[in-house]
Amino acid sequence: MTSRNRPRRTAAAAALALALAGLAAPASASTGHTHPAASTATPTAPAADATAATAGPTAATATTNAPAGEHPTSPHAGSWKPTQYDTCSAKLHDSYQVIAPDGMKYEGWHPSSVTDPATGKRCTFGHEHGDDPKTSKIYQWVIGKLGGETNGIPFGYAAAQTDLATGGALPHRHEDDPGQKVIVRNDVKQLRADRTGYAKGADGKPIVCSYLMKMHQGSHSSDALKNNAHELLYAARCSDGTELMVDTLALFGQPNQFQENCSDTIVKTTGSQLPASKAGKRLIPNTDCVQKYVQSGPKASSDVWGVYENWQAESTITGPDGKAKASFDPWFGVRNPSRVGSGSDGVPTASLYTSATNAYPWSTMDGPLEQQDPASPFNGAQRDVYVHNTTVANAGGPTTWYTDAYGNNASDKPFAGSVKQYVSATSNTGLPELERRAYGFSTDYGSKGSGVHAPN
């Protein structure tokens, strides 16, 4: 790995090793594996409804989002079917669908395991969706900004609008249900990048922001090896008046390529017809990285970062006047993806086990495993998030625009295939550069007993 992306074997690597092992990392440990300025907040458990620990009789009783009245189901919903390892039914899964701004039903958040009201027994879905969005302090605010009859965070809503674009003008996207992940961070104080203290508002107090994000991050398939557009709902509400709620197909680097996580080397792939982009990137482990940093060398040097995956967004919302109104750049990490890259194809991570793969979580295995095997420690459920700048340059301007699914072609009126976006009539461009802060290095949404396995 280059020094830019590979951690030094210091407290940073030790903190991750502890987090991967499910142990408490010291609150003072900092990370630096993909950005030297990233700092790690005290690790926390998932903000979800105990989804990472819903084993046995403690599983939540199913509380569904059954919508009132008749609402058609979006073609982007209802595709999930249980595998041989899953005990919850497709009907129970569908009961968690929510109403989106277009009045149609889309997939929504649910625990990884519930007590099925039809049987009174615990069942598992085999996948998880991260944090329960209702634990967000800005959940109701986000629902209000989405508008219409919205009664939950709809998965795949922006992607579905590509079907409606006039004359098929936009590349179509359909992303699977298991890859939909919710991230909640409440009351995050904004730390200056120069580490001289907190960024402060006009009242002299530290600026505090709450975030609610819904990201599609499929670390189980070959999709991200070639496709760069992935749905990201990004909402932030800060004490200085900065507010943003946007839902787009965010572009993470170029299509038909990804970058090795261990070297930043570009790996060419094929099969995507999505738009080009110079912003963002997808740092994904491939078989070369695993061979170099996990399978080779003395056992003591096996690198826990060898399969780390990090998707880095750099998104901008432009108004009808052509000027940038808002920008944001969260990063999304996966510590145990269930596939690694091999050209345009994905290879099950657990299949690469050898006698030399002694680093955690390889050390919990006795031999190679199939990708979907629930015994595999590689299920894509150990995830972290980095929050950084949420910049708004819209002082006194209109707060609502309509864009296409990719966040382009802004208009002050809705049009076929448009998505409503909200930007506060404020400006925070005078703030100092902020520290990129990392959260979740001890979070596991699919721990033992949860029933979570690939695809997830």
The per-residue pLDDT for range 250-296, each reduced to its tens digit, is: 999 999 999 999 999 999 999 999 999 989 999 999 999 998 888 87
Tell me which residue has tokens 């249900």.
177
For residue 391, give the nearest of 199, 131, 251, 229 by alpha carbon: 199
pLDDT at 306: 85
- Of 22, 20, 41, 21, which Cα lies nearest the Cα of 30? 41
CA neighbor of 360 nearest in space, from 304, 403, 313: 304
Instruction: List, for residues 87-125, the tens digit of each pLDDT value.
Output: 999 999 999 999 999 999 999 999 999 999 999 999 999
Smallest CA-to-CA distance from 127 within 26, 43, 221 is with: 221
Whether the CB-CB separation of 410 and 319 falls below 8 Å is answered with: yes
Residue 313 neighbours by CB under 8 Å, 6+ apart: 232, 250, 252, 280, 328, 329, 330, 331, 332
Q: What residue type is assigned to position 56 of the chain?
A: G
Encoding tokens for residue 261?
């996580």
Phi, psi of 325, rounded to the nearest 5 degrees: -105, -25
Beta strands in 29-124 (DSSP E): 39-40, 60-61, 98-99, 105-106, 113-115, 122-124
Structure tokens at 406: 């990719």
Task: State how beta strands 122-124 and 419-423 pair.
Answer: unpaired
Buried b (16+ CB within 10 A) or exposed e, 314-336: bbebbbeeeeebbbbbbbbbbbb
Cβ density class 23-49: b for 16+ within 10 Å, e for less: eebeeebbbbbbbeebbbbebeebbbb
Tokens read off for 85:
């390892």
Q: How many CB atoms lie within 10 A of CB 11?
A: 17
The confidence score (pLDDT) of residue 167 equals 64
Low-confidence ranges of the chain (pLDDT < 70): 1-69, 166-168, 297-302
- DSSP secondary-structure letter at 429? T
Total Cβ atoms within 10 A of residue 239: 17
Q: Which element (helix H / strand E) includes 317?
A: strand 315-318
Kindly compute the dihedral angle of the four CA atoms of residues 77, 78, 82, 83, in this order, to the nearest 10 degrees: -60
- How many Å apart are CA 270 and CA 257, to the nearest integer? 8
> Measured between alpha carbons, how far is 390 from 73 in angstroms, rounded to an integer?
34
Q: What pLDDT score was predicted for residue 303?
A: 73
Q: Which amino acid is at 303?
A: D
Spatial distance between the Cα atoms of 64 and 281, rounded to a whole number of angstroms: 36
Contact predicate 311/230, CB 8 Å: yes
Q: Are 11 and 27 in contact (CB under 8 A)?
A: no
Give pLDDT, residue 70: 83
Question: What are phi and psi for residue 277, nearest 5 degrees?
Answer: -155, 135
Q: Write down the domain spans for the chain.
A: 11-439
